[in-house]
Amino acid sequence: MNIARSEALFSRAQQYIPGGVNSPVRAFRGVGGTPRFIARGEGSRIFDVDGNEYIDYVCSWGPLVMGHRFKPVIDAIADVLETGTSFGAPTERETELAELIVDAVPSIEMARLVNSGTEAGMSVLRVARGFTGRDLTVKFEGCYHGHVDSLLVKAGSGIATLGLPDTQGVPKAFAETTIAVPFNDLDRIESVFRERGDRIAAVIVEPVAGNMGCVPPLAGFLEGLRAITARYGALLIFDEVMTGFRVGYGGAQERFGIRPDLTVLGKIIGGGLPIAAYGGRAEIMKKIAPAGPVYQAGTLAGNPVAVAAGIAMLRYLKSHLEAYSRMEQLTAQLTAGLPACVSANRTGSMYTIFFERGPVRDYEEAKRSDTLEFSRFFHHLLERGVYFPPSQFEAGFVSAVHTGEDIAHTSKAMAEFFEPGSNQASA
């Protein structure tokens, strides 16, 4: 496979951009080799600058639920560009997108639009602290909620991929406001609340973890979080940046029947453009300025182009709910029939194949995965035109425009890796 132009571009990028990339996982540090520089996408495929074609299971890390260059989104962007790109003043579309979110997500009565998942995570914690008058946050090991100082404690995503112990640059006092506990461990949550429950403002959780790889909640885990936080007067925050509008139109909270107090959204609500939101009960959201005393602002919040793309995406999904059953069926086919040397986790159209025999239920079990073997697996697939996430600790995604042929080609490539005697797979 010729990748000469990607190699040249990566060398050039490293002179001007730290590590040559604008988000760490893109650098292929978790798998080795040269990251592919992408020229364009179409449907379920991406094409690099050297002309190589790949079936894409990254889908821009989740947002492209209808694949690349989805026509309703492209048309909406073209339409709004006729009017301008940014105003710094209210527009009708902002209210329309907020209405679609409130209509879809069971727990959200009001929503505030922001520019990124990190911004939404930072803001939702501030309003939780302001509403409760408490300072502490509980998070889960291996869950990533953006690069917010206080939440970069035992975080997943690029922190896990690069093997960092957390990160430098976070004051100790910030980190001390966060309590990290194992995912899927209700006993530890109970213990933490018994000791410090009157100081805990909120528990924030990915209802389906996606940043230590895909790790679903065990039966009763989310229900237990809801009961414990309610008992102690703390808020339950679902980080649905990844799961929102992906594991179901109403997100993980609709799928599992749990109603959090606050929710963080991103990715799909922008149709591939940068946007995020946080929302929840009206009495909490009314604490946010200018309605209340908790300040949060953003010059480009509610950007017309991103909002138009999000409206087009959510409108389409609302009227084509069959897309969810199709994605789930395709993902089930993709992760079926794997050998005992790996473990496949899946919820809806999110999945991860761990190079670990036992079940993967938390961060410690995820970290036992054989990352060197995963790297060989990744490159085996890449050479055969299949683009998986370039990290053992990131979830993969299937879109509604992946075809049966895409899945069959990918399954064949995976089976070749695991064939007895293959020099790619370990015994």
- Please identify every residue annotated as catalytic: 144, 239, 267
Task: Residue 391: name the closest of 47, 144, 216, 131 by CA.
Answer: 144
Distance CA 64, CA 398 (A): 9
Tokens at residue 133, please? 């008058």
Number of neighbours of residue 34 by Cβ within 10 angstroms: 16
Query: Can you say how many angstroms the Cα of residue 217 is from the centroid of all Cα atoms in its chain?
Result: 15
Fill in the amino acid letter for 131.
Answer: F
Task: Residue 357: name the closest of 372, 374, 370, 348 by CA.
Answer: 370
User: Which run of H or of E encompasses 238?
Assistant: strand 235-240
Taking CA atoms, 423 is separated from 8, 185, 339, 377, 419, in Å, by 30, 39, 16, 11, 9
Task: Residue 159: name the closest of 143, 172, 174, 173 by CA.
Answer: 143
User: Which run of H or of E encompasses 352?
Assistant: strand 350-354
Angle at 72 between CA 71 and CA 75, to 5 degrees: 80
Beta pairing partners, 68: 43
Strand ranges for 25-146 from DSSP E: 38-42, 45-48, 53-56, 110-114, 136-140
Residue 283 CB-density burial (10 A; 0-12 exposed, 13-18 middle, 19+ buried): exposed
Cα Rg of the chain (Å, integer): 21
Tokens at residue 39, please? 């020229």
Residue 19 CB-density burial (10 A; 0-12 exposed, 13-18 middle, 19+ buried): middle
